[in-house]
């Protein structure tokens, strides 16, 4: 099972991914796995932000077209959601959750984090602590506590844990 978090605070962005080794098999193509954002991207204009979200959606559809029949024959539910963080040159750092269907939402207002996977166990610490004015290091600590509670509560979630933090380039 996979568990991913993307947190957006005033100071920057924090992305985490955890994936149990049983999910890392040749039957699970990389684009079907959870994506934990990546380094903040810089683009010359706003249009490229949309291009990044569109590429994630198209890659998912491509994998589904290639492997969908095989996965369906073996009763494998094929779906993927992605967390994408980035900053356009001269713009604000932004965080998106891209759904399986290709539509997306952006972290705004009180919604400053997204989760994918086993969300119920680690959500309470994020709800209690993480706000826009939370420091980047405190957001990373909360995310790790969220991971720990998820791993302790669900045996199918385990290491490795990937952690990425990026400061906003305002």
How many separate domains does the chain show? Answer: 1
Residue 144 included in any domain: no
Residue 146 included in any domain: no
Residue 109 included in any domain: yes
pTM of this structure = 0.73
- Between 116 and 39, residue with greater pLDDT: 116
pLDDT at 35 over 80: no
- For a pLDDT cut of 90, what percent of the chain falls above it? 25
Residue 55 included in any domain: yes
- Between 105 and 71, residue with greater pLDDT: 105
CA-closest candidate to residue 165, choices 129, 141, 148: 141
Structural domain of 94: 2-139
pLDDT tens digits for range 113-168: 999 888 888 899 999 999 999 999 999 999 999 989 998 998 888 888 888 888 88
């Amino acid at each position: 099972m996979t568990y991913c978090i993307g947190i957006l605070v005033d100071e920057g962005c924090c992305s985490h991914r955890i994936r149990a080794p049983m999910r890392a098999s040749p039957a699970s193509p990389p684009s079907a796995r959870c994506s934990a954002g990546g380094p903040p991207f810089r683009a010359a204009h706003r249009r490229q932000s949309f291009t990044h979200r569109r590429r994630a959606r198209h890659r998912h559809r491509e994998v589904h077209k290639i492997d969908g029949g095989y996965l369906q024959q073996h009763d494998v539910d094929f779906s993927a959601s992605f967390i994408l963080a980035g900053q356009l040159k001269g713009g604000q750092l932004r965080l998106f959750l891209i759904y399986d269907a290709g539509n997306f939402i952006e972290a705004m207002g009180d919604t400053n984090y997204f989760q994918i996977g086993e969300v119920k166990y680690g959500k309470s610490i994020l709800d209690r602590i993480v706000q826009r004015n939370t420091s980047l290091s405190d957001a990373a600590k909360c995310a790790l506590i969220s991971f720990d509670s998820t791993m302790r509560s669900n045996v199918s979630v385990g290491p490795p844990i990937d952690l990425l933090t990026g400061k906003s380039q305002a």
